[in-house]
Amino acid sequence: MWFIGMLAGFVVGALLGEIPGALAGAVLGWILALVFFPKKAGPAAVAGGERLAQVEGRLARIEARLAALEVVQAGGKASRASVVPPEAAVAPTPAATERVVAAERTQIPAAPEVPSTRKEPAPAAVANPARAPVAMPEPRPNPLIAWLTGGNTIARVGAVILFVGVSFLVKYAADHRLLPIELRLAAVAGAAIAMLFFGWRMRESRRGYALTLQGVGVGIFYLTIFAAFRLYHLLPAGTAMAILVVTAALAAYLAVRQDAMALAVIGTVGGFLAPVLASTHSGNHVLLFSYYAVLNAAILAMAVRKSWRPLNLTGFVFTAGIGFLWGSCGITRWSGCAYHDGIFASTESFLVLFFLMYVTIAVLGARRDLAARARFMDATLVFGVPLVAFGFQAAMLDDSRFALAGSAVALSALYLALARGIHARDLGKSRVLVESFLALGMVFATLAIPLALEARWTSAAWALEGLGIVWAGARQGRWLARAFGLALQLLAGLVFLDVLSRGGLGEVPVLNGAFIGAFLLAIAGLASCRILGRMEGGTTQLDRLAVPAGFLWGLAWWLAGGAREIDRFLDEPRFAAAAAFLAGTALVSSTLRRRFAWPQASWPSWGLAPALGAVAAAAVVHDSSVLAHFGWAAWPFAFWAHLRVLRHDEPEITQRWLQALHVAGFLLLAAIGSWELHWLSRSHGLSASAWSVSAAMVWPALCLAAVTSARASARWPVQAFASAYLALAGAIVTAALWAWTFYANATHDGGSAPLPYLPVLNAIDLGHLLALAAGAGWWLALRRESIPVPIDRRSAIVATAGAAFFWLNAILLRTIHHWAGVAYRLDELMRSVLVQAALSLFWTAIALVLMFAATKRGWRAVWMTGALLLAIVVGKLLLVDLSHLSGIERIVSFIGVGLLMLLLGYLAPVPPKGEAK
């Protein structure tokens, strides 16, 4: 309802009096809505009150029973003529308590009457000692609502309406010249003095009504003096200023003397609204701000004696708000509008004056009661004053970044000096205030760097200010302050993204606005994560979500800033620089985790291997060498950092994820070496030769041989993660080498220029021998370490035999290609009679070898494989090789095949009995 009242008042006031009327109408509508439509307690509060009443009723009955037992024991006997039931001794309670009492009366019978020979004790001895139930504590009301609804509400609402009405009367009379101006102003001033007089006389009998009259009188007197001086020029500047000073001093004296904060607030609000309501759109800013300086001086004087936070906030909000309206030409035309470079000196003087006043007020309020203020302070003034003042300063110095940087340095020096002085004087009693000023000093000192180096002040100031507010909210246990600080950092990030989209943030590496801005956003997010993560109690769901989110937010800005610098200023070595940057980030983060027990700082260690894989993939996509341009130093450093952070952060990483990271690092090392050797062979003009395809498998085979060696198995990390390196990573590399066998034999003819081709002694065949040795070493290492084999024995034999058969046939075909001149293409090879004859003889020889070996070893499955291969050869001869012959040639061929089969049948061994082993 308050929002509806404020909106209605704003619309009505705007129709009647433009901007001043709209402001006054909004305030009046808000007040009336709060008075006539107060908030009601919700069902949860009612239910909580009933539960508390029930507990209090039960406690009262227990105390009554204990008191009755004590009286009986003091009498010497347990019997009495009559015993007052405990329920009857309980005083009436609220409705909820009565229901509980009635229910218990039906369950607990009264004590029976027992004859007694002793005299009863006095009735007062068994009087009800139970205390009345404690009422549900009411929530503390809003100070403005408490003032309006406490005491004479009608009089206080009428006072607000009267002040607004008198303001409009003065303006109306001035516009229409109804009476001589001297008479009009004298009448209004006389009415104000009369209200002060009667309010002072009634201060003892009717305090609330008296304070209302005094407050309205002070506000109307402010309005009158200001109108006489500024609108009608009836008072010289010196006289008017003197009267205003006296009026402010009188209002402060009356408020302090009567300990009446409401009087001070009413008088202050009236004083601030007087220029707004009586404005003629042609004001002098020096006179306006001089008048407000007097009002703020009165607030400062009262702050010396009283710690009235609403009064301080009222003055601060009105000063900042009216200053904003005065300076915003595009928003309002009020009071002559507004700031320009020609009045910088005078405006800057008032800005500095108001800033120093409210810094002093914040210090006075925080140090008034050192014992109580050791934990609490007015965070709104402590952090809000520099934020608003620096915003005004930035608006006035829009085209002078270095001047704004100087202002940040000056603010930093001021707050650091204040922190040192207060700490030295109070000996640590004002610890929170000292730490807040110290944080502000560091914030502005840090802010001066991006301002001087082309960064925009908005995002940097908001991010660091948000960090300060999160810190203060954590220290004081205020969740709303922490939420505001986090929201401010999010807003700062969005603003900074807009700044980045426009460009023009400097051309100096690292020392430019883009990187420093991202760095400050990262620091704010990471520090907020650390602050919220160290809170021991009083955390909310938002705080718990903000801990991981804040770390990821800060880490993302850090990585994005670094990646942008590498992309802008490093062309050829960008991949090596990216790898070193990621590795360095993981190392620093791991160090922070160990030193400060910061669990989230181990997360970069988890993502280092995938991030390095992304960098390597980008290098491959760009067809770039990984080790070129200092990559030979960056990548070894990156892999060393990968293993180091994994070893140091083992307690923070789950075992399953830790094994996956070790496997990922090993596979990345094998892949990078494979690509680098392949790239080097192509860069030296060997892309069409066997050297290029063989180079891709040399490094993975060497890595597999190294990790499966006995020496590696006895050292970390293979010893600690044997199953990860041998069973999983080894199996993946072995499978890759197996797939390479088919690819290399199907696509390359084995030419190893400038060397002549020799069977087996060429690049591809030597690569097969290396892959075979690495695979055998991997299999033996699994057996040696007693690690379960990831593939069953039969499947491994079949896969190995298939690859070996394919390789042997490829050797034969490559030899025919190089020595007989048959093109190494499938269609040409299949049409060659020489190739077909050679394959038939070769397969027959293989079949015989398999059958003889199987007979000796008793391998029935192997014998059947050889027999099947022999049958394929015979079928091939009959159906394919002899199909193109005719006449006597075909007859001779069939006879020759028959004789060959008879000979093979005589020589071939019999199949072994039993199942294959």
pLDDT on residue 609: 93
Confidence bin at 24 (pLDDT 50/70/90): low
Which tokens hold the place of 485?
A: 């600080």
Q: For residues 164 and 222, give the distance between their C-alpha atoms in angstroms, rounded to a whole number.
A: 13
Spatial separation of the C-alpha atoms in residues 810 and 827, rounded to whole Å? 15
Q: Which helix (H) or strand (E) holds 519?
A: helix 513-533
**pLDDT interval class at 41 (50, 70, 90):** very low
Distance of alpha carbon 578 from alpha carbon 560, whole angstroms: 11
Q: Mean of the pLDDT values across residues 504-527?
A: 85
Residue position matching structure tokens 């928003």: 331
Per-residue pLDDT reduced to its tens digit, 222-240: 778 777 776 777 777 667 7
**Separation between Cα atoms, residue 708 and residue 550, nearest integer Å:** 42
Which range of 153-162, 259-268, 615-624, 875-884 scores highest in mean pLDDT? It is 615-624
Longest CA–CA separation in the chain, Å: 151
Whether the ω angle into residue 754 lies within 30 degrees of 0, i.e. cis, is: yes
232: left (phi over 0), alpha (psi -120 to 50) or beta: alpha
Q: Which of 51-60, 177-186, 251-260 has the highest mean pLDDT?
A: 251-260
> Using CA atoms, how far apart are residues 297 and 314, in angstroms rounded to an integer?
13
How far is 648 from 652, CA to CA, in rounded Å?
Answer: 9
Q: At which residue do the structure tokens 């006031």 appear? A: 13
Q: Model confidence over 664-673: pLDDT tens digits? A: 999 999 999 9
Indicate if the pLDDT at residue 913 is higher than 80: no
Integer CA distances (angstroms), 216 to 164, 227, 877, in order: 10, 16, 121
Contact criterion met (CB below 8 Å) for 303 and 365: yes
Cβ contacts of residue 465 below 8 Å, gap of 6+?
383, 387, 443, 485, 488
Contact at 8 Å (CB) between 669 and 743? no
Residue 131 to residue 67: CA distance in whole angstroms: 12
d(CA 435, CA 423) in angstroms, rounded, equals: 9
What percent of the chain has a predicted confidence (pLDDT) above 90? 15
Cis check for the bond before 916: say yes or no (omega within 30 of 0). no
Contact 789, 778 (CB under 8 A): no
What are the CA-CA distances from residue 696 to residues 384, 620, 680, 773 (Å)? 63, 13, 10, 16
SS3 percent helix, strand, coil of the chain, rounded to 5, is 75, 0, 25
| pLDDT attached to residue 85 | 46
Q: Can you say whether the dihedral through the CA atoms of 176, 179, 180, 186 is positive or negative?
A: negative
Compare 776 and 325 and report the one with higher pLDDT. Answer: 776
Number of H helices, E strands in the chain: 34, 0
- DSSP one-letter code for 94: -
Model pLDDT, residue 486: 92
The C-alpha atoms of residue 490 and residue 554 are separated, in whole angstroms, by 11
> Taking 80 as the threshold, does the pLDDT of residue 721 lie above it?
yes
Cis peptide before 610 (omega within 30 of 0): no
pLDDT in tens, 582-597: 999 999 999 999 888 8
- pLDDT tens by residue, 354-381: 999 999 988 887 766 554 444 455 777 8
- Give CA separation, 797 vs 739, 788, 791, 800, in Å: 15, 16, 10, 5
Exposure of 637 by Cβ count < 10 A (0-12 exposed, 13-18 middle, 19+ buried)? middle
Task: Specify the length of the chain in residues.
Answer: 917
Tell me what pLDDT residue 895 has: 65
Q: What is the token pair recorded at 116?
A: 């007694």
Lowest mean pLDDT among 115-119, 480-484, 544-548: 115-119
End-to-end CA distance of the chain: 89
**Tally of CA atoms within 13 A in the half-sphere of 114 that contains its CB:** 10
Lowest-confidence region among 174-183, 410-419, 829-838: 174-183
Q: Comparing 274 with 40, which gets the higher pLDDT? A: 274
Cβ-contact 379, 469 below 8 angstroms:
yes
* Cβ-based burial of 86 (10 A; exposed 0-12, middle 13-18, buried ≥19): buried
Q: Under the phi-then-psi rule, with left for phi > 0, alpha for psi from -120 to 50, and beta for the rest, what region is 506?
A: left
User: Could you tell me the sign of the dihedral formed by the alpha carbons of 176, 181, 185, 190, in that order?
Assistant: negative
Amino acid at site 209: Y
What one-character-per-residue DSSP string does 600-660 give?
Answer: GGGHHHHHHHHHHHHHHHHHHHTT--SSTTTHHHHHHHHHHHHHHHHHHTGGGS-HHHHHH
Q: What is the pLDDT of residue 344?
A: 82
Q: Which tens digit of pLDDT belongs to each residue from 79-125?
A: 444 444 444 444 444 444 444 444 444 444 444 444 444 444 444 44
Amino acid sitting at position 460: A
- Tell me the CB-side half-sphere exposure of residue 419, using CA atoms within 13 A: 19
